[in-house]
Amino acid sequence: MKSLKSNYILNNFNIFKIIGIFLTIILLAVGCSSKYGRLRHDVEVQSAFETNRVPRDYQYYYYGDSEPYVIFGIEPKYEMNSRLWRDVSPDTEEFREMIRFLWEDYNYYKFGADILDPSGEKVGIMYTAIWETTVKFGADNQVEVMPNKPFLWGPEAGGGGGIRLR
């Protein structure tokens, strides 16, 4: 009797294990099929931002306040999919001041990068000190730029650095 019960439990466990592995594979496949772009470090892009020789036909956005964290320009066919970003014109004093006061900190240094779409085509440029930035392309030419900034929340956030609030 114990043998039949043990076999029943073992068989059910194996079935759940197989179902769990199958679901994990499906979730990984769905997650990896999203349309993510990437950044490609480029010193010429950094120079273009710092000398205000950026392409004028791009739409420019920034994230942050007086010391923005990220400034990027993207082809006009794309539309931002976030209300956190503000647009800015590259031919303004505000833009030049943002470039000058872009946030950087210990081990976070300003750099320029090309924004590449999922197929590897250049669709924009970025100026930031945050390497951990995700660029996601959605339907209807929607684009989301998501800088990872755990350093702002202090050591408790797992990113180290930052300011500790008491």
Q: What is the pLDDT of residues 25-38, one digit of tens each?
A: 665 555 555 589 99
Reported as a pLDDT band with limits 50, 70 and 90, residue 165 is very low
Asked if residue 43 is part of any domain, the answer here is yes
Cβ-contact 102, 110 below 8 angstroms:
yes
Asked if residue 82 is part of any domain, the answer here is yes
Asked if residue 12 is part of any domain, the answer here is no
Asked if residue 16 is part of any domain, the answer here is no
Task: Look at residues 64, 67, 47 and name the one whose alpha carbon lies nearest to residue 125.
Answer: 47
Predicted local confidence at residue 65, as pLDDT: 77
Asked if residue 58 is part of any domain, the answer here is yes
Boundaries of domain holding 62: 38-147
Cβ-contact 61, 86 below 8 angstroms:
yes
Q: What is the pLDDT of residues 37-63, one digit of tens each?
A: 999 999 999 999 999 999 999 999 998
Asked if residue 73 is part of any domain, the answer here is yes
Asked if residue 118 is part of any domain, the answer here is yes
Average pLDDT value over all residues in the chain: 79
Q: What is the mean pLDDT of residues 56-78?
A: 91
> Per mean pLDDT, which range of 36-45, 115-124, 146-155 is the poorest?
146-155
Q: Count the domains in the chain.
A: 1
Q: Which residues of 126-163 are buried (b: 16+ CB within 10 A; e: fewer)?
A: bbbbbeebebebeeeeebbbebebebeeeeeeeeebbe
59-63/122-128 β-pairing? unpaired
Quick one: what percent of the chain has pLDDT higher than 90? 45
Whether residue 159 is predicted with pLDDT greater than 80 in this model: the reply is: no
Q: What is the mean pLDDT of residues 107-118?
A: 91
Asked if residue 166 is part of any domain, the answer here is no
